[in-house]
Amino acid sequence: MWLKDSSIGRKLLMSISGLFLVLFLTFHLVMNFAMVFSPEKGGAYDAICGFLGANWYAVAGTLVLAVGFLVHILYAFILTLQNRKARGNNRYAVTARPKGVEWASQNMLVLGIIVVLGLGLHGYQFWAKMQLPELAHQFGMCIDENVLSNAAYGSYHIAQVFTNPIFVVLYLVWFAAIWFHLTHGFWSAIQTIGWTNLVWLKRWKTISNIYTTLVCLGFAFMAIWFYFTLQ
């Protein structure tokens, strides 16, 4: 099948999965802003978390999201290794960055690793303490009552994480890596799909930079806001 066996097919799969994750990032940002306007326990943010919870549609969404991440990460590594193998020793011949080549485009693998590590931390601090205990309880596993009672309250977990300055700094580093990753990855994915030409390429780069900056500034703002208001 050319989608997984050819270089173009792999790039297409990585691009489509990447754009899907961009949509999720936008949803996640909008959802989290509910916590800014309603930070109290049982407020609007907790209502959203309760609506999602461990319901079948939330579990299905989580599985689709997990597949999207896995596809994107897997093909990113495959294409990086493929490109390095194709260049061979020539990749050591030039140390200066060619004119017009973004720093992010030459360091997508490193940025991607930082993004994945941040994702792992985020998943442990939230998904593993919210949806996972509820799922385990539904399957008859014995879950600590304190853990189970707080599972549906996202405000509780946000307060636990973002009142710790170490985690705030780690998340800010994560957001910075996402910014670098997306400023190149967003428009590059659009280009791979074919929704661009010489005129629209510059426009998509501008749109990519504006979108990515707004999203990452939004997440950074919330991390800092949580730290100073939830103490």
Q: Given pLDDT bands bounded at 50, 70 and 90, which one contains residue 169? A: very high
CATH entry, 2-87+101-229, from 2.60.120, 1.10.490, 1.10.10, 1.20.1300: 1.20.1300
What does pLDDT average to over the chain? 84
- pLDDT value for 17: 85
| Rounded average pLDDT over 71-87 | 77
- pLDDT value for 216: 95
State whether the Cα torsion 75-64-185-36 is positive or negative: negative
Write the DSSP assignment of 55-89 as a string of letters.
Answer: -HHHHHHHHHHHHHHHHHHHHHHHHHHHHHHHHGG
Report which of residues 100 and 6 the model is more confident about. 6
What does the domain layout of the chain look like in residue ranges? 2-87+101-229
Q: Which of 180, 166, 190 is nearest to 213 (CA)?
A: 180
pLDDT digits (tens, 9 = 90+) for 86-115: 665 554 444 444 444 466 667 777 888 899
pLDDT digits (tens, 9 = 90+) for 111-166: 888 999 999 999 999 999 999 998 888 888 888 888 888 888 999 999 999 999 99
- pLDDT value for 99: 46
Q: Given pLDDT bands bounded at 50, 70 and 90, which one contains residue 58? A: confident
DSSP secondary-structure letter at 40? S
- pLDDT value for 103: 67
- pLDDT value for 220: 97
- pLDDT value for 1: 54
- pLDDT value for 147: 85
Contacts 24+ apart (CB under 8 A), 75-78: 75/10, 75/11, 75/13, 75/14, 75/17, 76/14, 76/108, 76/109, 76/112, 77/109, 78/10
- pLDDT value for 95: 46
70 has a pLDDT exceeding 80: yes
Contact 6, 13 (CB under 8 A): no
